[in-house]
Amino acid sequence: MNNIKLLDCTLRDGGYINNWNFGERTIKKIIEKLAQSNIDIIECGFIREVDYDNDTSIFNEVEKIKELIEPKNKNITYVAMIDQPFISIDKIKEYDGTSIDGIRLTFHDNAKEIAEALEYGKRLIEKGYKVFIQPVGTTSYTDASLIALIEKVNELKPYAFYLVDTLGIMYKNNLLRMYHLLDHNLDKSISIGFHSHNNLQLSFSNAQELLMLHTKRNIIIDSSVFGMGRGAGNLCTELITGYINENIEEKYKIVPLLEIVDEQLSRFLNEPKWGYSVPYFIAAVNNCHPNYASYLMNKQTISVKSINTILKQIPSKKRDIYDENYIEDLYINHQMQLVDDMEALMRLRKLIANKKVLIVAPGKSIEKEFENIGAFICDKDPFVISVNFIPSVFKCDAVFISNNKRFKNIADAINDIPPTTSIITTSNIPNEEMNSSFVINYSDLLLDNPIISDNAGLMSINLLNRLSIENVYLAGFDGFSLNKTKNYYSTELINHIEMAELVKKNEGIEKHLNFLKKSMNIHFITSTIYSDVHLYSRTH
């Protein structure tokens, strides 16, 4: 068992969940509890060229980490990760044993990054640090390119070289084949590390396979408490320590790990959610970066079947490294179906005529402030358009539908609405499934910002802008709360967009609304984060 070590990466990989904002006290407590559990190697976070915030696990020098690991346990190796672009080597002080002991270097499979990483690693070794060479997506290397890299690593002689399952795609046979390839070619003094992602729920079983190998090679297995990590997460530290205690050697203490979950991580367990999901499974099956699946999930507009269709279109050379612009283009192309909507626009303009227009989005305020909405409708007799839902408390003149996922949820209810209510759909909605009154070209209503490119509320306003409607009133445009239960009047509409995405959506929506106000008058009649204008009432 002396040749097996566990490395906990909660403060680094787990940071993708909360933008590394654990809080200074929590960071110290997690390190303290991991030490109490006898974890062999504790990763304290990233070292990057940033302005340091002591509430985050991203540091701009090793001295900042020193303050968090005191008193230092001499039986534990403390490390941090440096990723591309590497922080200036001059900002890494000579190793003196008071701060971290090792540095993990990560890089992509291209000649420039590999050369930079190996040279940087050499300088770190000269400064006295244990260096962990950790190529991104080892599973994507060909055998020849991997052996070529190993030959260079053998010249460097770092502390460890890693097998990294970035895409979470490894089954037992592939794991063992790649391990033996490394073991056969790597200098015997270099440890082999294994970092897995749990897209196929195989991190735990794959770790057990490595633990059963009869080898003198030193092996490092990465894990995080409660599997905390983006997407499907990682191998759970509490599971692998329990397995080792039960089946190999009584070495680790489990209770401090459970205390980390209970006392330190519980506030992060739901925002955003990590763990097994069908889209991340699909990402693994399609051998592509999980961020592609995450991006499409956060759209909340298309089905799992459509996500699978889009991922299959990604060429092999684009699958390993995430490209947001590329996946946005694939998404838009998947949604796009060009139609000639000139006649529809003319008929819709005539239907609205010179009326004021009220657009109703499904924010919680339409439930809380329905009397305001009712008073406005009674007084102003506007043309009322609901967006991707059918209100139950007041009548609409039209329903605007641009979201395929929402459409499938309300398809049955559409059959029950009065025949006088018009159905306005964008061209990405399959028209054979519904007899739309107006079909509008989807691409003409899109926004330039990929975060909100097809936000339904903004698309409906864009439509009115195309129709030269001057006065638009908005209800239910509340803005996104980080408490997702407060975002919609109906729990059936709640989705699982990541917290960081919600913040970006609010910023993007507010910016676009301000842009639209240059060409049309926009008024809010219910509470919203996008305006501090007073609400409508009959006293106005």
Per-residue pLDDT at 164: 95
Per-residue pLDDT at 483: 67
Q: Do both 9 and 77 map to the same domain? A: yes
Per-residue pLDDT at 298: 81
**HSE of 400 in the Cβ direction (CA atoms, 13 Å)?**
27
What average pLDDT does the segment 97-119 reach? 95
Burial of 90 from C-beta contacts in 10 A (0-12 / 13-18 / 19+):
exposed
> Does the structure show a pLDDT above 50 at 69?
yes
> Does the structure show a pLDDT above 70 at 349?
yes
Instruction: Please give the full DSSP string across 404-433, using - where no structure is assigned.
Output: HHHHHHHHHHHTTS-TTSEEEEETTS-GGG
Per-residue pLDDT at 27: 96
Which of 200-209, 412-421, 492-501 is predicted least confidently?
492-501
Per-residue pLDDT at 540: 46
Q: Do both 125 and 253 map to the same domain? A: yes
In 464-526, DSSP assigns E strands to 471-475, 521-524
> Does the structure show a pLDDT above 80 at 521?
yes
In a domain, residue 413? The reply is yes
| CATH at 224 | 3.20.20.70
- Specify the 3-state DSSP secondary structure of 512: helix
| Closest among 197, 208, 40 to 130, alpha carbons compared | 40
pTM of model > 0.75: no
CB-CB contact of 191 with 220 (8 Å): yes
In a domain, residue 535? The reply is no
Per-residue pLDDT at 485: 64
Per-residue pLDDT at 497: 65
- Convert the pLDDT of each residue in 266-325 to its tens digit: 888 765 678 887 778 888 888 898 889 888 888 878 878 888 889 999 998 888 889 999
CB-CB contact of 513 with 455 (8 Å): no
Q: Do both 300 and 415 map to the same domain? A: no
> Does the structure show a pLDDT above 80 at 409?
no
In a domain, residue 529? The reply is no
Structure tokens at 186: 């790597």
Q: Do both 261 and 285 map to the same domain? A: no
Per-residue pLDDT at 42: 98
Structure tokens at 159: 């502390």
What average pLDDT does the segment 472-492 reach? 75
Q: Do both 177 and 199 map to the same domain? A: yes
Range of the domain at 327: 278-335
Q: Do both 130 and 225 map to the same domain? A: yes
Q: What is the total count of domains within the chain? A: 3
In a domain, residue 531? The reply is no
Q: Do both 173 and 197 map to the same domain? A: yes
Q: Do both 236 and 305 map to the same domain? A: no
Per-residue pLDDT at 306: 85
What average pLDDT does the segment 449-476 reach? 91
Confidence of residue 400 (pLDDT cuts 50, 70, 90): very high
Q: Do both 347 and 439 map to the same domain? A: yes
In a domain, residue 540? The reply is no
Q: Do both 143 and 162 map to the same domain? A: yes
In b/e form, how buried is each residue of 269-285, taking b as 16+ CB within 10 angstroms? eebbebeebebbbbbbe
Per-residue pLDDT at 92: 96
Between 498 and 172, where is the model more confident? Answer: 172
- Convert the pLDDT of each residue in 379-392 to its tens digit: 999 999 999 888 87
Percentage of the chain modeled with pLDDT above 90: 60
In b/e form, how buried is each residue of 497-507, taking b as 16+ CB within 10 angstroms? bbbbbbebbbe
| Closest among 123, 111, 53, 110 to 82, alpha carbons compared | 123
Q: Give the integer Cα–Cα distance in Å for 391 and 384.
A: 11
Q: Do both 233 and 328 map to the same domain? A: no
Mean pLDDT for all residues in the chain? 89
In a domain, residue 189? The reply is yes
Confidence of residue 103 (pLDDT cuts 50, 70, 90): very high
What average pLDDT does the segment 182-208 reach? 96
- Convert the pLDDT of each residue in 485-495 to its tens digit: 666 666 555 56
Confidence of residue 38 (pLDDT cuts 50, 70, 90): very high
Between 503 and 188, where is the model more confident? Answer: 188
What average pLDDT does the segment 528-532 reach? 83
Amino acid at 485: T
In a domain, residue 533? The reply is no
What is the length of the chain?
540
Per-residue pLDDT at 524: 92
Amino acid at 338: L
What average pLDDT does the segment 217-235 reach? 94
Between 118 and 388, where is the model more confident? Answer: 118
Per-residue pLDDT at 177: 96
> Does the structure show a pLDDT above 70 at 484?
no
Confidence of residue 131 (pLDDT cuts 50, 70, 90): very high
In a domain, residue 115? The reply is yes
Q: Do both 124 and 165 map to the same domain? A: yes
